[in-house]
Structure 1
Amino acid sequence: MGELNSAGVKDEDITVIFACGTHRAVRPDEAERLLGPEVLKRVKVLSHDCEAPDHVYIGDTSFGNKVEVNKIFAEADVRILTGDVGLHYYAGYGGGRKSVLPGVSSASSIQFNHAMLLHPKARMGVLDGNPVHEDMMEAARLADVDFILNVVQNARHELVRAFAGDLEEAFLKGVELVDRIYKVPIEEKADVVVVSSGGHPHDIDLYQAYKGIHAALEAVRDGGAIVAVAECPEGHGHKVFYEWMTRYKTLEEMEERIKAKFVLGGHKAYYIMKALEKVHIILVSAMPSEQVRDVFRLEPARTAQEGLEKALKLVGRDASVLVMTHGNITLPTPV
């Protein structure tokens, strides 16, 4: 704010847009926590609505996505993106271009982009050949972004470093630091991976705790077993996630649904179904065993020892075992 003011930009000419994508609008108390009460008093603040009727078409990506963005964002004289760079399930990394797509894009543009999560290169920690990332970057270029300010945080959500400047260059510098902090080299994949999702609040429900399972998939061999230790005191944690697991019986059904209409929450159901085609998953949690087994199709256990015993019965007692204590923030990377 101070930099903009010193450059001659008046407070009344500044608009802060919360890049909500398909998420709900930011509540007033959340806005105050994010920006501070003084900033809220000085500038216009709004949450992006992907269903708004007045999005502005700015062009097509090479993938065929007709990119439509927030009208106020499109009509601004200067467009600045802020955010944090971190690992992301299918975009490879969060941050940078993601503030435009999905951040301030229309529902149809987001749907087109997110349907590409089915691509084999749409993976955590992968940018090269990842169509979700590449489509996002092209959309951000079409939006004519002037400047970005992105940060990288540690596991305690403390700022490690900030990166500012060009849309792509600053973002990629952030990616390099994320790789150094969160990618962990492993010599070979294990028969069994015991993974913690990081404890409270990261394992408050299965929807959140799945991040640990997702990371463990990079460390376990096909046909192996993952023992996911996550209390999940609040159960499954997401209505759509639960509905997809009860409604769709096969991975193919879920893929068709994603192609037709991406719904936040459904992607976690898809990832679980996809994982179960390759590995056994044992969930050590407080969730009802019947729900774990019948709805989410995982093997329930009450203790880590019980979970490990079940895993060894499945893959053999001479199995190699790898333990991930911070599965929510680390990405095993075979070397």
Structure 2
Amino acid sequence: MPEYWFRYGVTEVSMEVPEEVSQRKIGVKEAEIAENIWRELRSFAHEVGRDAGAGQVTILYDHVEEDLSLSILRHVVDSLIDEGRKVTLLISHWRLPPKAGAEHVKDCLKRHSIPVKAIEVGESEKVSFHGIAVSKEFLEASARIIITTSEVHGILGKASFEEALALGGLFDIEFGDDVKETVKDVYERASSETPFNVITQLNGRICFGEAEKVRREVSKILEEELVVPVEDAEVIIAGGGGYPRDSTLQSILHLIGLLRESVVEGGLIGIIAECREGLGSREFLEALLRGGGRGLDREAIELVKDVMENRRIAFTSTLPKTILKDLLNIRGFDVPQELLTYSLRLYGKGLRLLILDRPVVKPIRGRRSGQS
């Protein structure tokens, strides 16, 4: 009987699927790192440092988990310091719950021996820039680099450096009805008036250079490599990525948008996420209870309601089942095997099942690879 494992908080959980059930595990293959990439990044850091001269180089590191981006950060910082450059490090972690994100990035920076003091971008001094409060360290730097991981996102389409600019706390902005439009506006203003360079990795692929060049490269890779065509299925069961990604319902809810097109109408989206820190922020809880909310919180709640019109949603988590049911009409289970049993009861052993252990691709039914 095939057995599948999923990261669940800081541990792992498993699920056994009967052999007579039609099942497919969606493969996630990381690209091989180019042999000369570290030499190229050192040369790139040298060019940025040369442009800065005697001035300050500010790096915004946008954190999501312990991955290749941290090695990139260490390499770039070392390269700049070796040449005697002044380096300021700002950190953000907008994709993670605030508490878990702050703790995790601090631990990761320590483990990777990053040799400069990190400043939480939300705690950095702000100055006015065309009527918008922006981090002084970023605005007044002689050269700027954003380092982050780019990936698919269930609400925004992608999470990359543009989203880090708008959502990471670098700018104090008010979000309107369309978060993606706000992200676009912030990026266009920042790239034209405070030019910056970018280094980002996508599933092992490293892109770097001027912001607009990298933006085009990232969009192409996300579309061609991280959107995966799948056959019709009634059920998908996906892992939430483990700690710190799955620490709250708020931080994991966007995955519903990532998975909605992977199952047929009337199908079931199952997510395995520990949510050990509960529902999320006070603002998110108020949005759940009273409706409304702002920014991603509002869009996440509206997403769930929209998907529930023609699909089912279920969670394996530590959240109380009654809360999930009462607030969002989501079925809750204690272990993945119970979630599978529920799926079999709904669709029988003739169900077609998809498994995605890591939420790093977007599966879409009836779509040819590379199709827009």
Structure-2-length-normalised TM-score:
0.62
What is the deviation of 1:78? Answer: 2.9
Contact 2:154–2:255 (8 Å) recurs in 1: no
For 1:288, the equivalent position in structure 2 comes to 320
* Structure 1 residue matching 2:195: 3-state secondary structure: coil
What amino acid does structure 1 have at the position aligned with 2:129? V
- Once the two structures are superposed, what CA deviation does each residue of 1:158-202 show, in whole Å capped at 9, x if it has no partner? xx23222221112322343344553221144x3332333345665
CA 1:148–1:51: 2 relative to 1, 3 Å = closer
For 1:167, the equivalent position in structure 2 comes to 211
Contact 1:69–1:100 (8 Å) recurs in 2: no
Stretch moving more, 286-295 or 303-312: 303-312
Is residue 219 from structure 1 mapped to residue 262 from structure 2 by the alignment? Answer: yes
Could you tell me how far apart the structure 1 residues matched to 2:242 and 2:109 are?
28
CA 1:20–1:182: 2 relative to 1, 3 Å = closer
Could you tell me how far apart the structure 2 residues matched to 1:164 and 1:85 are?
12
Contact 2:138–2:144 (8 Å) recurs in 1: yes
For 1:15, the equivalent position in structure 2 comes to 88
For 1:141, the equivalent position in structure 2 comes to 191
* Structure 1 residue matching 2:143: 3-state secondary structure: coil
Gap runs ≥5 in structure 1: 58-65, 123-130, 155-159
What is the deviation of 1:326? Answer: 2.1
CA 1:29–1:213: 2 relative to 1, 3 Å = closer
What amino acid does structure 1 have at the position aligned with 2:150? V
Contact 2:249–2:280 (8 Å) recurs in 1: yes
* Structure 2 residue matching 1:79: 3-state secondary structure: strand
- Once the two structures are superposed, what CA deviation does each residue of 1:284-330 show, in whole Å capped at 9, x if it has no partner? 3343322222234212334445434544555x548642322325222
For 1:210, the equivalent position in structure 2 comes to 253
For 1:90, the equivalent position in structure 2 comes to 155
Could you tell me how far apart the structure 1 residues matched to 2:318 and 2:164 are?
36
Is residue 38 from structure 1 mapped to residue 115 from structure 2 by the alignment? Answer: yes
What is the deviation of 1:219? Answer: 0.8
What is the deviation of 1:67? Answer: 5.6
Contact 1:196–1:212 (8 Å) recurs in 2: no
Aligned runs of 1:35-114 on 2, under 5 Å? 36-40=113-117, 46-49=119-122, 54-57=127-130, 69-103=134-168, 105-107=170-172, 109-112=173-176
Stretch moving more, 82-91 or 174-183: 174-183
For 1:196, the equivalent position in structure 2 comes to 239
CA 1:15–1:205: 2 relative to 1, 3 Å = closer
Could you tell me how far apart the structure 2 residues matched to 1:285 and 1:35 are?
31
What amino acid does structure 1 have at the position aligned with 2:361? T
Gap runs ≥5 in structure 2: 1-41, 56-83, 368-372
CA 1:110–1:221: 2 relative to 1, 3 Å = farther
For 2:14, the equivalent position in structure 1 comes to none
Could you tell me how far apart the structure 1 residues matched to 2:94 and 2:340 are?
40
Could you tell me how far apart the structure 1 residues matched to 2:279 and 2:164 are?
28
CA 1:37–1:280: 2 relative to 1, 3 Å = closer
Is residue 243 from structure 1 mapped to residue 286 from structure 2 by the alignment? Answer: yes
Could you tell me how far apart the structure 2 residues matched to 1:75 and 1:12 are?
15
Structure-1-length-normalised TM-score:
0.68
Could you tell me how far apart the structure 2 residues matched to 1:21 and 1:169 are?
24
- Once the two structures are superposed, what CA deviation does each residue of 1:14-59 show, in whole Å capped at 9, x if it has no partner? 433335679689689459538845333xxxx5433389663211xx
What amino acid does structure 1 have at the position aligned with 2:175? Q
What is the deviation of 1:266? Answer: 5.1
CA 1:9–1:85: 2 relative to 1, 3 Å = farther
Is residue 116 from structure 1 mapped to residue 178 from structure 2 by the alignment? Answer: yes
Stretch moving more, 15-24 or 231-240: 15-24
Could you tell me how far apart the structure 2 residues matched to 1:105 and 1:56 are?
12
Is residue 331 from structure 1 mapped to residue 355 from structure 2 by the alignment? Answer: no
Q: Percent of aligned positions with the same letter in both sequences?
A: 20
Contact 2:317–2:334 (8 Å) recurs in 1: yes
Structure 2 counterpart of 1:299, from 320, 331, 334: 331
Q: How many residues align?
A: 289
